Amino acid sequence: MTDIRMSADVRTALGPDGVAKAGAVTLNNANCLVCETKIYPDEPANVVVRVAGLERATGRIAHVRYAHARCHASAVVEIPEARSPAPSAMPDDGMAMRMTAATVEHGRSVLPTLVAELEAPVYLNAGTGAGVELVDVLASRVLARGFSPVGRMRQAPAHADQWLATYTTPAGLDRISQLTVMEPDGTLFYTGTIAPPPQWTAGIEQYGWSVLYVGKIGLAGIPANDQRAKTRLMREAAAAGRFVGARITVHHLA
């Protein structure tokens, strides 16, 4: 686990729940807030809480971010309100996203599954002090758009209307495919590459949809062909309530 360091004002701003969540992470090559180069798991990292300038009815909106110890001290930093809108699910402002394609057992069915994870966790902090609870930015966004919490993977989650993903035919020795995921209102949720196993593409052809999980699972560094390890991590994360899910329509671009 990464050596996560927090100043006294950061700990006060986050409260006990926030401190626990922000500290219990391993940063798998996430980008530094300041220099935008990688923070490796064996490097110490400072927590920087970026707080919106406007006082809101439910408290102040804050991003919990990470920086190299040499780049930025652990601190609470004010952000001008013009630069602090409600965060989107897109990988801007440091919210780089990793997408993994796999086949995962749900009860007796093995289903095509996509897993979206932020390279470094970003939370919303609706308030300050001991009663604060950090809310995962990405999970909070998709919960409002048809996703639901996942506790056990006995069956596929419900279908989320009007979500749409497209993918290209996997090519090359690494089977690289271009994936695009759109939200119901046409907002771009994700665009990038995946390396889907043959069973994933076969499942898409059979069902016309994929399960999409969003949250903190920790699939970075797991070999693409190690489906057993991916399934084990996902079951552990589900039991801990660390992600949300839905089924989304997927089309193949010939």
Close Cβ partners of 175 (under 8 Å, ≥ 6 residues apart):
195, 196, 197, 198
Question: What pLDDT is stored for residue 213 in this prediction?
Answer: 94
CB of 27 closer than 8 Å to CB of 46: no
β-strand 148-149 against 177-182: which pairing, if any? unpaired
At residue 125, the pLDDT reads 59
**Count of helix runs (H) and strand runs (E) in the chain:** 4, 16
Q: Give me the residue spans of the domains in the chain.
A: 4-78, 97-252
pLDDT tens readout for residues 55-90: 443 445 567 888 999 999 999 988 765 444 444 444
Residue 208, Ramachandran bin (φ over 0: left; ψ between -120 and 50: alpha; else beta): left
Give pLDDT tens digits for 199-248. Answer: 999 999 999 999 999 988 877 767 767 878 888 888 888 888 888 999 99
Residue 218 or residue 167, greater confidence: 167
Average pLDDT on 146-173 reads 93
SS3 content of the chain, % helix, strand, coil (to 5): 20, 40, 40
217 vs 182: CA distance, rounded Å: 22
